[in-house]
Amino acid sequence: MPLVDRSSYTPPPGFGNGHLQTIFPVLTRKVALITTVRERIETPDGDFLDLDWDTSNASSRLLIMTHGLEGSSTNPYVQAMAAAASRNGWDTLAWNLRGCSGQPNRLARSYHSGATEDLATVIGHVRGTGRYQRIDLVGFSLGGNLTLKYLGDCGSNLPIEIGAAVTFSVPCDLASSSLQLERPINRIYMHRFLRTLRIKIREKMIRFPNQIHDVGMDSMRTFRQFDDAYTAPLHGFRDAAEYWRKASSLPVLHAIAIPTLLVSARNDPFLARACYPIEQARRNPNLYLEMPASGGHLGFIVFNRPNEYWSESRAVDFLRQYPEQHAPRPASAIPNPCRLKAE
């Protein structure tokens, strides 16, 4: 324990295939925009982050959501989670990783799977408002790895307001997940990711001609090639292997000190065996691992009137088990117990 032996998720008839579960929501799901109020905050290194808020409940409890690779705050899976949380009384905040809000970030660096310092900046800003007694976290895919790594890196030094977390479809071992996506059957996903990443690199070339080039970029077909050429050097890593090792959440899952649910479907085409941390969940009473037989990558499709997928219902149900328990403090009295910085 706490392995979740029997998941409550059952796919609709005809939707048991992992690739179908992955692709169908991307192509067909329409969700109204919930987090409509944008705020821009500065980062300690001179960049910015765009935060999208919904405070219509005027709640003392906030849900912070972190999107996946090449996603944004407006992705249907993010906004559907915001809608489910809002229906259950939360205020919600969907933040955009650097360069993902529709405007290029200022610096040559961008975001990556282990950039926990940016999540810490968002949480620090929220705490500074003094409005929230309780902050919960939800992360998707890359954002799930980032969330888990933040929790593991902080351990018992988490800000007191952080209550519980839920993550979905998490490549917590980046090396094995990257190799998994190199398989021919997953070529469609790799092509899609690299297409948008190339666009961003070429935009940065114009602004940083002495730091970034596109020599050989069009021939790249794998994350190893892209991360060796761009992600690693732009973020202070020696190469892709070092980046994957240092940015993976798997080595720090043992240190997670708050109730945290990790949900990854067994038929997720993005995840290799190492991304299912069974032993870590058995040893850490705070880490709950749920592995539905089906669900794909950020799928978990359900057809119902509120257009609420199982993942959204599951997150709300898990987080509601842990009620508000901390008193608010004035912004001037809030320490920063977990000090994270870039690698």
What is the rounded radius of gyration, in angstroms, for the C-alpha atoms of the chain?
19
Q: Which of 59, 268, 294, 311 is catalytic?
A: 268
Q: Give the tokens for residue 12.
A: 């609709």
Catalytic option among 177, 178, 297, 311? 297
Tell me if residue 67 is catalytic.
no
Concerning whether 141 is annotated as a catalytic residue, the answer is yes
Active site residue 317: no
Question: Which of 7, 72, 86, 141 is flagged as catalytic?
Answer: 141
Q: In this structure, how many other beta carbons lie within 10 angstroms of the beta carbon of residue 42?
A: 12
Contact of 142 with 69, CB cutoff 8 Å: yes
* CA 250 to each of CA 28, 257, 262, 288: distance values in angstroms, whole numbers, following the listed order: 33, 15, 12, 14
**What residues are annotated to the active site?**
141, 268, 297
